[in-house]
């Protein structure tokens, strides 16, 4: 699956992974890691918002993470 790094708060690493694609948007898994603590959330993001995040640099593609786990 393709994973993206979120440009966010200092000290908190946040990643977005697309888990499913729909006509109007994406199901995503958002993972935040800070001080050894990991929080995961399943969300839906519209295609327009996702593309805006890519265009503005808020999300940066970091690759295809098939079988890769983010460790806290």
- What is the pTM (predicted TM-score) of this model? 0.80
Give the pLDDT score at 72. 45
Q: Are 12 and 72 in contact (CB under 8 A)?
A: no
Q: Where are the alpha helices (H) located in the chain, listed in sequence order? A: 47-56
For the segment 6-60, what is each residue's pLDDT rounded down to a tens digit?
Answer: 998 788 999 999 999 999 999 999 999 999 899 999 999 999 999 999 999 999 9
Q: Is pLDDT of 67 > 60?
A: no
- Find the Cα–Cα–Cα–Cα dihedral 72, 68, 6, 52, rounded to 10°: -160
In angstroms, the Cα distances linking 19 to 27, 35, 43, 56, 57 are 6, 26, 10, 22, 21
Give the pLDDT score at 65. 56
Q: Are 28 and 12 in contact (CB under 8 A)?
A: no
In this prediction, residue 61 has a pLDDT band, given cuts at 50, 70 and 90, of: very high
């Amino acid at each position: 699956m393709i994973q993206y790094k979120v440009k966010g708060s200092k000290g908190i690493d946040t990643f977005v992974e697309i888990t499913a694609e729909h006509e109007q948007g994406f199901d995503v898994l958002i993972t935040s890691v800070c001080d050894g603590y990991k929080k995961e959330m399943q969300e839906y993001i519209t295609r327009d918002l996702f593309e805006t995040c890519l265009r503005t640099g808020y999300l940066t593609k970091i690759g295809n993470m098939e079988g890769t786990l983010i460790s806290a």
